[in-house]
């Protein structure tokens, strides 16, 4: 029988409310696992996760996932129109969403509301990822989790997503947790970052400070491609 691996190891971290919080680190370090623990896509075997002082295991899982919404790395559109996709989350909670709210959601992610009746699976990669974000916002979450949301997008689509995330944080005060491999992206939009290596957070701070070069920082080493898991 294969030995069980420890993915997250005595990790302690605080997500800053109303800010873009980046989780960075080499492949296999545990950042995506940590992200999935935050809305119980993965249940940790030990430890606790608190949201406003409440154990998230004490919150109904559907309620938690409405409050802490997830956007995956690759956008998956459900069958039907964009409007059908935007209605999915509220419908799962027994709620309705009207066209005016759908229009607002598309405008938030810089998409033309005239696309509401367009077949969702016909969208480009960048459009689909923005619809994924709008779909996650349909339940009015307090926190938005994103797992490398721009990794498969071209530079123009990437910048549009980044602009959207900055708007959500700066204008609406939304708390965002972003997993990213790109230190350039983190430096552009994140307020704070946490570097994970082998399941442990080894460094935290603002990207500007950690990349300043004034002192030795593991983050700067990671940005140069000199930091790998299992070192």
- Which pLDDT tens digits describe the chain residue by residue (231 residues)? 445 677 888 888 999 999 999 999 888 888 999 999 999 999 888 889 999 999 999 999 999 999 999 999 888 999 999 999 999 999 988 999 999 999 999 999 989 999 999 999 999 999 999 999 999 999 999 999 999 999 888 899 899 999 999 999 998 899 999 999 888 999 999 999 999 988 889 899 999 888 887 667 878 888 878 777 655
Q: With respect to residue 1, please indicate whether it lies within any of the assigned structural domains.
A: no
Q: What is the pLDDT of residue 2?
A: 47
Q: With respect to residue 24, please indicate whether it lies within any of the assigned structural domains.
A: yes
- Which range marks the domain in which residue 207 is found? 20-223
Residues 222 and 147: their CA atoms lie apart, in Å, by 19
Q: Are strands 192-197 and 143-147 parallel, antiparallel or unpaired?
A: unpaired
| pTM of this prediction exceeds 0.85 | yes
CATH number at residue 137: 3.40.50.300
Instruction: Please report where in the chains the tokens 């290596």 appear, as a residue.
Output: 197
Handedness of CA 93, 85, 172, 104 (dihedral sign): negative
Strand partners, 21: 177, 192
Residue 29 neighbours by CB distance under 10 Å: 26
Q: With respect to residue 2, please indicate whether it lies within any of the assigned structural domains.
A: no
The per-residue b/e assignment along 114-137, b for 16 or more CB within 10 angstroms, e otherwise, is ebbebebeebeebbbbbbbbbbbb
Structure tokens at 129: 């990822």
Nearest to 35 by CA among 7, 63, 77, 4: 7
CA distances from 90 to 62, 69, 96, 140, 165 (A): 11, 12, 6, 9, 22
Domains of the chain: total: 1
Q: What is the pLDDT of residue 100?
A: 96
Q: With respect to residue 88, please indicate whether it lies within any of the assigned structural domains.
A: yes
């Amino acid at each position: 029988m294969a030995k069980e691996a420890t993915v997250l190891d005595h990790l302690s971290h605080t997500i800053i409310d109303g800010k873009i919080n980046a989780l960075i680190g080499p492949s296999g370090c545990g950042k995506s696992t940590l992200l999935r623990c935050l809305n119980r896509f993965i249940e940790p075997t030990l430890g606790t996760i608190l949201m406003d002082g409440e154990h998230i295991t004490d919150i109904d899982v559907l309620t938690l996932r409405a409050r802490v919404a997830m956007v995956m790395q690759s956008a998956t559109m459900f069958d039907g129109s964009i409007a059908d996709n935007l209605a999915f989350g509220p419908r799962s909670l027994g709620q309705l969403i009207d066209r005016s709210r759908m229009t607002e959601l598309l405008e938030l992610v810089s998409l033309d509301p005239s696309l509401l009746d367009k077949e969702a699976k016909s969208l480009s990669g960048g459009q689909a990822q923005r619809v994924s974000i709008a779909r996650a916002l349909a339940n009015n979450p307090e926190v938005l989790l994103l797992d490398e949301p721009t990794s498969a997008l071209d530079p123009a689509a990437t910048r549009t997503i980044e602009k959207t995330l900055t708007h959500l944080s700066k204008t609406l005060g939304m708390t965002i947790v972003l997993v990213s491999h790109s230190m350039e992206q983190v430096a552009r939009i994140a307020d704070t970052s946490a570097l994970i290596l082998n399941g442990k957070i080894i460094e935290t701070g603002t990207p500007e400070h950690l990349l300043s070069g004034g002192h030795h920082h593991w983050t700067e080493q990671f940005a140069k491609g000199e930091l790998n898991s299992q070192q």
